[in-house]
Structure 1
Amino acid sequence: MNDVIACTRAEFARLRRWPAFWILLSTWLVLNLVFAYLFNYLAYTTGSSSRMSNGQPREILLQQMLPAAVPEVFTQGMAMFGGALMLVLGALVTGSGYGWGTWKTVFTQGPSRTRVAGGTVLALAVVVVALVLSAFVVDTGVAAIIGAMQHQSPALPGAGRALLGIVTGTVILGMWTLAGALIGVLARGPALAVGLGLVWVLVVENLLRGVAAIFSPIRVITDHLPGTAAGSLAGAMRTVSGASTPGVLDTLSRPASFVVLAVYVVVFTVAMIWTLRRRDMA
Structure 2
Amino acid sequence: MSAATSLDLRASAPGPSAVLNSTRADLLRLRKWPAVWVTIGAWLALNAMFAYLFNYVTYSSGTTNFSTQGESRAELLAGLLPSGLPATLPQGMPLFGGAIMMVLGAIIAGNGYGWGTWKTVLTQGPSRTSTLAGSLSATTVLIAGVALATLVTDYAMSLAVALAESRSTALPGLGDLAQSVGVAFLVMEMWAMAGYLLGTLARSPAVSVGLGLVWGLVIEQLLRGVGGSLAWVDTFTHFLPGTSAGSLVGQMVGVDPGTPDATPGLLDALSYDRALLMVVAYLVLLPTLTWWLVRRRDVV
User: In the alignment, which residue of structure 1 is the partner of 2:101?
Assistant: 86
Distance in structure 1 (CA, Å) of the matches to 2:280 and 2:43? 23
User: In the alignment, which residue of structure 2 is the partner of 1:119?
Assistant: 134
Distance in structure 1 (CA, Å) of the matches to 2:127 and 2:17? 12
Deviation of 1:240 (Å) = 5.4
User: In the alignment, which residue of structure 2 is the partner of 1:274?
Assistant: 292
Distance in structure 2 (CA, Å) of the matches to 1:277 and 1:128? 25
1:204 aligns with 2:219: yes
Amino acid at match of 2:125: G
TM-score normalised by the chain length of structure 2:
0.92
Is the Cα contact below 8 Å between 1:71 and 1:237 reproduced in 2? no
Q: What is the number of residues matched between the two proteins?
A: 282
Distance in structure 1 (CA, Å) of the matches to 2:79 and 2:156? 14
Amino acid at match of 1:177: A
User: In the alignment, which residue of structure 2 is the partner of 1:73?
Assistant: 88
Distance in structure 2 (CA, Å) of the matches to 1:79 and 1:54? 21
Instruction: Within 5 Å, give how 1:209-228 maps onto structure 2.
Output: 209-228=224-243
Deviation of 1:239 (Å) = 4.2
Distance in structure 2 (CA, Å) of the matches to 1:239 and 1:254? 10
Distance in structure 1 (CA, Å) of the matches to 2:119 and 2:112? 8
Alignment deviations for residues 129-174 of structure 1 (CA, whole Å, 9 cap, x no partner): 1111111122112101101111111110101100100110010000
Distance in structure 2 (CA, Å) of the matches to 1:224 and 1:239? 21
Find 2:188's aligned residue among 139, 150, 173: 173
Structure 1, 213-222 or 201-210: larger mean CA deviation: 213-222
Is the Cα contact below 8 Å between 1:39 and 1:52 reproduced in 2? no
Corresponding residue SS for 1:214: coil
Structure 1, 76-85 or 131-140: larger mean CA deviation: 131-140
Amino acid at match of 1:145: A
TM-score normalised by the chain length of structure 1:
0.98
Alignment deviations for residues 241-260 of structure 1 (CA, whole Å, 9 cap, x no partner): 54311111111111111100
Is the Cα contact below 8 Å between 1:231 and 1:249 reproduced in 2? yes
Distance in structure 2 (CA, Å) of the matches to 1:281 and 1:124? 20
Deviation of 1:26 (Å) = 0.6
Is the Cα contact below 8 Å between 2:89 and 2:181 reproduced in 1? no
Amino acid at match of 1:10: A
Identical counterparts, % of pairs: 44
Q: Where does structure 1 differ by over 6 angstroms across 4 or more consecutive aligned residues? A: none
Q: 1:240 to 1:113 in 2, by over 3 A?
A: closer
1:233 aligns with 2:251: no
User: In the alignment, which residue of structure 2 is the partner of 1:264?
Assistant: 282
Structure 1 regions of 5+ residues with no counterpart? none
User: In the alignment, which residue of structure 1 is the partner of 2:265?
Assistant: 247
Cα-Cα RMSD: 1.0
Is the Cα contact below 8 Å between 2:81 and 2:158 reproduced in 1? yes
Alignment deviations for residues 185-211 of structure 1 (CA, whole Å, 9 cap, x no partner): 000111100000000000000111111
User: In the alignment, which residue of structure 2 is the partner of 1:159?
Assistant: 174
Is the Cα contact below 8 Å between 2:67 and 2:262 reproduced in 1? no
Find 1:135's aligned residue among 150, 154, 172: 150
